Amino acid sequence: MNQTTRSSRTGVRHLASRQVIALSAQFLIGMAIALIGQPSQTTGTAHTVSEVLLGLHILVAAGLIAGAAQIIRFTRGSDRQRRLAYGGAAAIALTIAAGVLTVITQNNWLSYAMAAGFITALLTYVNLLVQATSSAGRSQEAPAATVLPEAASITTPGRRAQEGPGAKNCASGLGG
């Protein structure tokens, strides 16, 4: 495996883990907004907190879009990883659209669609993370697992006893 492929897999693994973390943060921020209420539904301190949380929610969404684009760029080696990357990006885009429409229309069904999109994106990026981690593990193990035939015959106990000093005594069990 060449250095470009290895760095691509490492990049995919790193970015997928960042997406999972950002999606988790997004979920918690969204739940806080749902508990406090949207800015249009609150007053006073709750209104200010809700606005800050909504701004943070939007900022994390922008980061998720950027992360999805980067992952697509890094998944040039594997068709499965590329499909997962496009699926995750589509789930994020649809989830953001549902979120914007939820704020505009106050429709709870769109909020449900946003939750379903979140779960889809999270499962997709966890799958991509596992895929990239197992691919990287296999590529690192492959050179270590290669054993030359002559090296295997040298390591057998009977062979060592025949070649070393006092071979007759070792082979007959008298020590050496």
Pair 20, 86 in one domain: yes
pLDDT tens per residue, range 21-65? 999 999 999 999 989 988 888 999 999 999 999 999 999 999 999
Please state the three-class secondary structure of the chain as a single string. CCHHHHHHHHHHHHHHHHHHHHHHHHHHHHHHHHHHCCHHHCCHHHHHHHHHHHHHHHHHHHHHHHHHHHHHHHCCCCHHHHHHHHHHHHHHHHHHHHHHHHHHHCCHHHHHHHHHHHHHHHHHHHHHHHHHHHHHHHHHHHHHHCCCHHHHHHCCHHHHHHHCCCHHHHHHCCCC
**Structural domains in the chain (count):** 2
Pair 129, 172 in one domain: no
Pair 58, 118 in one domain: yes
Pair 29, 97 in one domain: yes
Pair 49, 101 in one domain: yes
Q: Is the full-model pTM beyond 0.75?
A: no
Pair 99, 137 in one domain: yes
Pair 106, 170 in one domain: no
**pLDDT range class, residue 78, cuts 50, 70, 90:** confident
Domain membership of residue 158 as a residue range: 148-176
